Structure 1
Amino acid sequence: MTGVVVVGGGIGGLAAALSLLRAGLDVHVYEQASELSEVGAGVQVSPNASRILHRLGLAAALAASGVKPLAWHQRRWADGRTLLRAPLAEALEATYGCPHYQMHRADLLAALVEAVPPERIHLGHRLEGLTDLGDAVEARFAGGRTVRADVLVGADGIHSTVRQVLFGADRARFTGCVAYRGVVPAERLAALGLEVTAQIWMGPGRHFVHYFISGRRSVNFVAVIERETWTRESWTDRGEVADAVAAYVGWHPQVREIIGAADETFTWALFDRPPLPRWSAGRVTLLGDAAHAMLPFMAQGAAQAIEDGATLAACLRQLPPVAALRRYEGVRIPRTARLQEMSAGNKTRFHLPDGDAQRERDDQMAAGSRSWSFNALGWLYEHDAAELSLTADRLRT
């Protein structure tokens, strides 16, 4: 039986572990933290990801804590005018066979933790180095413990130690955007009569996103503004609610009221990395943000990590380790690179200053342009990452 070490116990690492276990592989997850936890933020689980999670036995858990949005509702920053309303919920599920969920990241992580056998998860293991021995790979953790396996997967996030060992230190590029994120108890916003939609407000130099999570008990928001400089790449720097409200002076009152209802916000500087030409070396590969960190403007970061695990499991089920990793990266890199590019492009589209380009965008959206409709994303949502033949077909089209 092929043995796999997964370094990193976040959403991507645990989803990969489940896919690999279901493929009959001997998998263990090593996480440097002393407990598994996620920051207080929302996550979108689109049909390409929920398809995999349902197959892994998580349908009931997703239904219990996830929210199915009625639509993507894209609006103008000052007056709230609807620019485009693309149906989700029943329409999306009927088209692609699986639902779209909005969730708290902690709820998704908890569902994955519950599904992975506890003896497969090892906390308090900080990777210090690794060695490819030819017929195996050895991982070295702080404190002197070593573990050998047939394959090692770096699912250790945007600051990946595994990526640095494989390809050297890299320098992330600041994209000129900083996000304030927060979660507000839904009862505080009851007077707004918020729809169960994912709302995106677009305006000059910034945008604002909000949606229900945690069984509609909370509202998650992300306020993205442009800044000239930033130094830290972190999810956990605290921000000031008053600063976030002040950044949206002149915007629709609903935007400012949602931000102002938060007890706290966290600031998140958005950094970018160009697509890697390869993810693997010998018996070691990357997964999730370690491989393809992307801006959140397509809501596909977690979904693509979940896809990675499914494809990796399919490759290892069919091929010897080294060949499987080559196939895995060959299948996944074109798809994730496309999404990295599209996510970066949405920064420009969301932040257009008022003027000719903005009016052209708004007119296209109001006319129901396919480029703004979920139907234009069939290649994304209908994809089954566990089906290698389907993946190959997608790459040829």
Structure 2
Amino acid sequence: MVLTVAIIGGGIAGLSAAIALRQLPGVDVQVYERAKEFKELGALIGLAPNGLRTLEKLGVEDVLTDEVGWRSPNGVPMCFKHFKTGDVLSVDYNHNVPDRRHQFARMHRASLQKALLKTLPSNILHTGNKVSKVTANDDGATVQFEDGSSVTADLVVGADGIKSKVRESFIKNHKLSSSGDAIFRTTFPYDLVADLPGLEQNSTHYQSPTAWFFGTRLGSDQFGVTCSFHVDENDSSSKFADTTWNAPATVDDIRNVFKDFYSPIPSIIDRIPEGTLRRYTNVAGEALAQWTFGNRVALVGDAAHTHGGAYAAGASLAVDDSYVLYLSLRTILRGEGQSQESLSATRIGEALSLYEATRRPHLERVLKEVHSGRKGQAARVEKIREDGVPESDSSFRKRLASRGDPVWLNEHDAEGQFHKVFNSSASSKAGETKARPKL
């Protein structure tokens, strides 16, 4: 083996990284998941054209089918409508997505996980491994687990989510902050709502000044709901002013908030099976100064960029992270020729530098947009509190109409960006060599 890799986390990021890195010759990949088994958990998830194209390159083609992913019949990625009137306030469009299979798809997270697991051998998946600490030096990176066991590899990939233990081992004070929104999610059989008059078949957000509701088909036979409303975190009496993640919720927790929303939203809520609804706090963190450590450790997915699920982009971003990490290591391995010796820490570090230089600027833009939006929301909430007057309907409509076009995110070409970074780096090195005086 020329490289051993330990991936921490068996979610979308970790499994995508495993699929990608296993395509490298002479590379041994092992995945360590904290859960005791890979259960079919989670709610609805979205994959944008960038993520779908990358998964196709990785051979995960099940996600391109209509059985797994629901695509709007009108070909529009997302439409935003007025919560009371149903008026169209804003629309996202495809710009360069000629293949329908690459159009924004909504699916159950378990379906995506199943498609990823299908392409991996079971003997590389290790469950019940809770990480306590990761250390790195010139000889390798060691992962210590809570049960006292450990594993050492040439490269450790931290794919362990927003509360990453891998990240915590190198960055001690990465603060996560709440947006002040309570988010609720559920999935259930489509048959439960199929008879409702006016049920949207196209992806549509119904938006109010302080809340939104999104209901969508998931693949061929499921339906998913995600909805959110603002919570005053300064009100200790508020039922949802905490920072709980994945807490059980009841339908009554959301029924009153959305009772005046456009039909058939109240009826959809009435059809949600009790016991299926979960509540989340929307948290995000500032951009990290670095994603890679000691030439031995790299972060991918939410561990690298805690963006709070904005734009329904988390899965696609994680997949692209994993693919660029693969491209970076492949480039270095090719530079080694036919050598069967293990990659040195220096060479691994070169690959990690390529990966970080490609991905981090793009995600810094994502996080900048997220935090800018949060500041705007906080300012509106504070003004309403001071004036005692809610946002006017005309102001609300104007604000939604001025939304930016997310094409820069949904159709981002991660591989193209990698080649730009690599070619620029190669040109710089060639220029430096040429400029050196002869001795």
TM-score normalised to structure 2 length = 0.80
| Runs of 4+, deviation exceeding 6 Å | 392-395
Letter in 1 for 2:176: A
Deviation sequence 1:212-242 (CA, Å, 0-9, x none)? 1032x222111111012233341x2011101
Q: Structure 1 residue 298: deviation in Å?
A: 0.8
Deviation sequence 1:243-291 (CA, Å, 0-9, x none)? 2011123222322222221113111111121111111111112111111
Question: Contact conserved, 1:314 with 1:386, CA < 8 A, in 2?
Answer: no
Structure 1 match to 2:15:
14
- Which structure: larger Rg? 2
Structure 2 match to 1:337:
364
> Take 2:54 and 2:63, find their aligned partners in 1: how far apart are those partners?
13
Given candidates 65, 70, 77, the residue that maps to 2:68 is 65
The secondary structure found in structure 2 opposite 1:292 is coil
Given candidates 30, 45, 48, the residue that maps to 2:47 is 45
Classify 1:41/1:14 alpha carbon distance in 2 versus 1 (closer, same or farther; 3 Å).
same
Classify 1:154/1:179 alpha carbon distance in 2 versus 1 (closer, same or farther; 3 Å).
same
Q: Structure 1 residue 86: deviation in Å?
A: 4.2
Classify 1:247/1:330 alpha carbon distance in 2 versus 1 (closer, same or farther; 3 Å).
same
Structure 2 match to 1:368:
none
Which structure 2 residues correspond to residues 205-354 of structure 1 after superposition, within 5 A? 205-215=210-220, 217-229=221-233, 230-234=241-245, 236-263=246-273, 264-282=276-294, 283-319=296-332, 320-345=347-372, 353-354=391-392
Which structure 2 residues correspond to residues 34-183 of structure 1 after superposition, within 5 A? 34-63=36-65, 64-70=67-73, 71=76, 72-86=78-92, 93-94=97-98, 98-183=102-187
> Take 1:133 and 1:160, find their aligned partners in 2: how far apart are those partners?
20
Q: Structure 1 residue 102: deviation in Å?
A: 0.9
The number of residue pairs the alignment matches comes to 383
Question: Contact conserved, 2:260 with 2:266, CA < 8 A, in 1?
Answer: no
> Take 1:139 and 1:274, find their aligned partners in 2: how far apart are those partners?
25
> Take 1:34 and 1:379, find their aligned partners in 2: how far apart are those partners?
34
377-386 or 334-343, which deviates more:
377-386
Classify 1:86/1:141 alpha carbon distance in 2 versus 1 (closer, same or farther; 3 Å).
closer
Deviation sequence 1:150-181 (CA, Å, 0-9, x none)? 11011011111111111114331111111011
- Alpha-carbon RMSD across the aligned residues, in angstroms, is 2.7
Classify 1:195/1:249 alpha carbon distance in 2 versus 1 (closer, same or farther; 3 Å).
closer
> Take 1:253 and 1:194, find their aligned partners in 2: how far apart are those partners?
8
The secondary structure found in structure 2 opposite 1:144 is coil
The secondary structure found in structure 2 opposite 1:389 is helix
> Take 1:100 and 1:270, find their aligned partners in 2: how far apart are those partners?
22
Structure 2 match to 1:195:
200
Question: Contact conserved, 2:135 with 2:169, CA < 8 A, in 1?
Answer: no
Q: Structure 1 residue 392: deviation in Å?
A: 6.5
Which sections of structure 1, spanning at least 5 residues, go unmatched?
Answer: 366-370
> Take 1:131 and 1:332, find their aligned partners in 2: how far apart are those partners?
24
Classify 1:333/1:377 alpha carbon distance in 2 versus 1 (closer, same or farther; 3 Å).
same
The secondary structure found in structure 2 opposite 1:103 is strand
Structure 1 match to 2:338:
none
The secondary structure found in structure 2 opposite 1:219 is strand
Deviation sequence 1:334-378 (CA, Å, 0-9, x none)? 1112122334455658x993344323235x46xxxxx555xx615
Question: Contact conserved, 1:295 with 1:340, CA < 8 A, in 2?
Answer: no
Question: Contact conserved, 1:4 with 1:27, CA < 8 A, in 2?
Answer: yes
Deviation sequence 1:170-225 (CA, Å, 0-9, x none)? 3311111110111232222222342321111111211111211032x222111111
Classify 1:96/1:194 alpha carbon distance in 2 versus 1 (closer, same or farther; 3 Å).
closer
Classify 1:112/1:385 alpha carbon distance in 2 versus 1 (closer, same or farther; 3 Å).
same
Letter in 2 for 1:265: L
